[in-house]
C-alpha cells in the first residue's frame, strides 16, 4: 500500500474540533470515515465534504462497551481500510466527583479511555501496513497542568491520552507511524455548551482558540512527527512557565482559578 491510500477515521466528528479535523483532511484529499452519535450532523458534514473526497458515515455511541468492536467490524464489512485514526470523541462531566452517579463516570471513562485504547488496538495492524500510518489523539492542555476542581476525571483522562501517545509513538516509530497528542486549550466549540459551563466561565477572550486552527495545528504536527502539539503561542508560553514552578505553587494557582472555568457545585 502507498501513503496515498486508506481512510482517516475521525471519532466525535459531528462538531467542534472533530468536524474541523475532517474538513482539514478533506482539503488534503484524504478519504474519510466519520463517526459519532448524531446521524443528522454526520450526514450534513458528509454532504459538505463529498465533493472533495469519498466519505463514509458510521453512527456509533462509544459509551457502549461493544461499540469499538462493532465500529471496526462495520468498517471492514464495507471493505474500507484505516490509515489514519483520530481519537477525538470526548466530553466533560461538570461538578465534583461525589455529586455524580457512578454510571455517569463509567460512561465517561468508557468514551475517554477504554474506547480510545480498544479502537487503537483493533486498528493498529491496519495502520501499520501503510507507509505513513497516523494516529492523532485529541488530548487537552489540561493534560499538562494540575487537575482542576470540578470535572475531576477530565484532566486524568487527557493525561492518560498524552502518555498513551508517547508510548505508542516509541513502539511504532520503526514502522513510520506518527502518533501525536494534540493538547489544545479553551477552544470555541460545543464542548462548554454541552456541559452547561459556558455562562459560568470568565476566561479572557484572548485565551480562546478557533477549532479550525487547532485542527490544522494537530494535523501538521502529526505529519511532522511531533509527539505533543500545543496550539497557540500563549498556551505554549504558559506551559513553559508552569513547568518551572514548584508543584505546591502550581496546585495553589489551580485551586484559586478553578472557579473561573469549572463549575464546582
Q: 108-160, pLDDT tens digit by residue?
A: 999 999 999 999 999 999 999 998 999 999 999 999 988 888 889 999 999 99
Q: What is the H or E stretch that residue 182 is in?
A: strand 178-182
What's the pLDDT at 172?
Answer: 97
Q: Three cell numbers at 29?
A: 484529499
> What are the pLDDT digits (tens) for 198-242?
455 567 888 899 999 999 999 999 999 999 999 999 999 989 988
Annotation: CATH topology of 7-261: Rossmann fold (3.40.50)
Backbone angles phi, psi at 72, to 5 degrees: -65, -40
Instruction: List the alpha helices (DSSP H) in the chain.
Output: 16-27, 39-49, 67-77, 102-109, 115-128, 154-172, 191-194, 211-224, 233-242, 247-261
pTM above threshold 0.85:
yes
Catalytic residues: 154
The position carrying cell 471513562 is: 109
Classified as helix, coil or strand, 163 is helix
Q: What is the H or E stretch that residue 8 is in?
A: strand 7-11
Query: How far apart are the C-alpha atoms of 259 and 254, rounded to whole Å?
Result: 9
Is 70 exceeded by the pLDDT of residue 79?
yes
Q: In the 8-state DSSP scheme, what is residue 112? A: I
Going from N- to C-terminal start, the domains of the chain cover 7-261
* Cβ atoms of 186 and 156 closer than 8 Å: no
Question: Interhelix angle for 67-77 vs 115-128, to 10°?
Answer: 30
The position carrying cell 494516529 is: 135
Amino acid at each position: 500500500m502507498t501513503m496515498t491510500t486508506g481512510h482517516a477515521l475521525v471519532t466525535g466528528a459531528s462538531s467542534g474540533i472533530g468536524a474541523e479535523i475532517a474538513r482539514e483532511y478533506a482539503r488534503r484529499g484524504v478519504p474519510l470515515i466519520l463517526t459519532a452519535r448524531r446521524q443528522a450532523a454526520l450526514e450534513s458534514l458528509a454532504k459538505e465534504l463529498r465533493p472533495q473526497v469519498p466519505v463514509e458515515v458510521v453512527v456509533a455511541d462509544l459509551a457502549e462497551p461493544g461499540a469499538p468492536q462493532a465500529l471496526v467490524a462495520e468498517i471492514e464489512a464495507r471493505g474500507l481500510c484505516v490509515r489514519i485514526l483520530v481519537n477525538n470523541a470526548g466530553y466533560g462531566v461538570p461538578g465534583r466527583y461525589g455529586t455524580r452517579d457512578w454510571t455517569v463516570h463509567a460512561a465517561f471513562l468508557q468514551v475517554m479511555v477504554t474506547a480510545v485504547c480498544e479502537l487503537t488496538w483493533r486498528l493498529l495492524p491496519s495502520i501499520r501496513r501503510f507507509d505513513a500510518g497516523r494516529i492523532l489523539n485529541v488530548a487537552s492542555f489540561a493534560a499538562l497542568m494540575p487537575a482542576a476542581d470540578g470535572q475531576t476525571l477530565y484532566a486524568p483522562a487527557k493525561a492518560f491520552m498524552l502518555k498513551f501517545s508517547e508510548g505508542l509513538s516509541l513502539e511504532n516509530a520503526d514502522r513510520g507511524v506518527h502518533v501525536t497528542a494534540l493538547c489544545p486549550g479553551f477552544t470555541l466549540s460545543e464542548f462548554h455548551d454541552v456541559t452547561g459551563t459556558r455562562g459560568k466561565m470568565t476566561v479572557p477572550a484572548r485565551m480562546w482558540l478557533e477549532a479550525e486552527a487547532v485542527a490544522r495545528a494537530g494535523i501538521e504536527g502529526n505529519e511532522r512527527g511531533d509527539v505533543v502539539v500545543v496550539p497557540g503561542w500563549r498556551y505554549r508560553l504558559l506551559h513553559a512557565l508552569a513547568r518551572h514552578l514548584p508543584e505546591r505553587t502550581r496546585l495553589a494557582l489551580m485551586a484559586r482559578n478553578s472557579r473561573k472555568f469549572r463549575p464546582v457545585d
